Amino acid sequence: MPPTQPTSYWAIGLNYADHVAHQIENLDAERIAKDAQAFMPWQKGVSCIIGQGDTVILPAESDYVHYEGELVIVIGKPARRITPKKHQFHLGLYLRE
């Protein structure tokens, strides 16, 4: 069970240099290089979040699953336009796999 009951899940892609380099090496280099210049958030269903040690349930037809370590930041209370000095008052916790 995750340590919280989130109501939304936002992800950001291509957010570190090693990941971008790997993607360029293995996929469409021109598109990936262009995409890496932009902030690329997207939403995922909260049902994809599980706790440490929980079982990952895959559909029977799955023959390949991509996975990677993730950093999760939980916003502990409503926030908007937070200054760097005040972020600690809104951060609930962060998790790293």
Tens of pLDDT, residues 23-77:
667 666 676 666 666 667 778 777 777 777 888 888 889 888 777 666 677 777 7
Burial class (CB in 10 A: 0-12, 13-18, 19+), 5: exposed
Give pTM, 2 decimals.
Answer: 0.46
What was the pLDDT predicted at 69?
64
Residues 43, 8 contacting (CB under 8 angstroms): yes
What was the pLDDT predicted at 3?
60
